[in-house]
Homo-oligomer: A and B are copies of this chain.
Amino acid sequence: MSIKNLVSLGLLVFIPISVAAEYLHWDALVVFVTSAIAIIPLAIWLSTATEEVAVATGPSIGGLLNAVFGNATELIIALSALRAGLVDIVKASITGTIISNLLLVMGLSMFLGGLRYKEQEFQPIVARVSGSTMTLAVTAIVLPAMVISTSNVVDPVAISRLSITVAIVLIVVYALTLLFSLKTHSYLYDVGVVELEEGATEAAHVEHKTNLPLWIGVLLIATIAVAFESEIFVGAVEEATKGLGLTPLFTGVILLPLVGGAAEYVTAVRVAIKNNMDLSVSVAMGSSLLVALLVAPVLVLIGQAIGQPMDLSFNLFEVVAVTIAVAIANLISLDGRSNWLEGVLLLATYTVLGAAFYFHPA
């Protein structure tokens, strides 16, 4: 059993602890921290189960599964928070997930990978298509905020309708990117897929063969458990972070993505160290894209349905931060090569943005 699996199992002990903390009304900070730690192994199991089921069901259905369930943890946490009316935190966590994936995850991958390999390569065309799609996503995030800030009068109905229109366009584009990457231009993504399968094969060697019913079971249990834990987590988040002197903006942009995205972070960095930058970049960028093109618009539409309307009008500072993150990630990934300094630059940008969010009063 690998160290990763041992850790994932060990951390499961935080599930009962967090439940106890919640029902015995311990301090909100304790509930917050223990439920956050409890979510991490669940997210890793959820992600592992998705990958295993994806491999067993073949590249087409598997790709679709990965594309839809890939960020299930983020989506579940966001849905819990949305139901609890924490619209600002949910919106902040959307921009936060994009920023963390592009800067923290890709930065760590390029930095740690770059310490072992002088120069690492990946498919520039994949990075380029992702970069262009990401730019569209940023546009979608920028526009409602800009409509508001350049208007004298703000009409909430107009912003809401604009958000719904944009959400539908994004979902259509997401479906088309799947068609592109899984069907019409799948050969561009072949390298990554082959290596993904290799990784899976490796995993299969350890466990002898993929046990489909087992993994479907793990997938279901992990999904339910994440939902369950995320309720506890979300219930404590406001009180706990206020107690720490943190703003909802900082909580949503910096803290939440660390909890929800832990699984991808581990994967991306692990494969980068194995010199599989194609997969690493594709996990980091793919995760950002999934959140921007699927999670965010789905939340807009669900928000309308459950009476917690969420529009796409982000805080102007979030807009600036996402724009910076996408610009520097595009610039660095455009040529399909990376080295440790480029990792440092991404991490430094993340640090500087994090500091700015920390000191931002809003």
Q: Which residues of A contact B (CB under 8 A)?
A: 118, 124-125, 128-129, 131-133, 135-136, 139-140, 142-144, 146-147, 149-155, 158-159, 161-162, 165-166, 169-170, 172-173, 176-177, 180, 184-185, 315-317, 320, 324, 327-328, 330-332, 334-335, 337, 339-342, 344-345, 348-349, 351-353, 355-356, 359-362
Point out the residues of chain B lying under 8 angstroms from A166, CB to CB. Answer: 352, 355
Please measure, in the bound complex, the distance between the C-alpha atom of A315 and the C-alpha atom of B146, giving whole angstroms. 11
**Is B353's CB under 8 angstroms from A151's CB?**
no
Contacts of A129 in B (CB 8 A): 341-342
Q: How many monomers of this protein are in the complex?
A: 3
Given A136-B349, A345-B136, A349-B139, decide whether A359 and B317 contact each other with a Cβ distance below 8 A.
no
Q: A162 near B345 (CB under 8 angstroms)? A: no
- Checking B128, B161, B341, B361 against A359 with a beta-carbon cut-off of 8 angstroms, the contacting residue is B161
Secondary structure dominating the interface of A: helix
**Contact in complex: A150, B315 (CB < 8 Å):** yes
B143 touching A356, Cβ below 8 Å: yes
Given A135-B327, A327-B135, A341-B185, residue A147 in contact with residue B359 (CB < 8 A): yes
| Distance (whole angstroms) from the CB of A15 to the closest CB of chain B | 36
**How many Å lie between the Cα of A225 and that of B100 in the bound state?**
49
Cβ contact within 8 Å between B150 and A328: no
Contact check, A355 vs B165: say whether CB atoms are below 8 A apart.
Answer: yes
Closest to A320 in B: B146
User: Which residues of the other chain, B, contact A184 by a CB distance below 8 angstroms?
Assistant: 118, 340
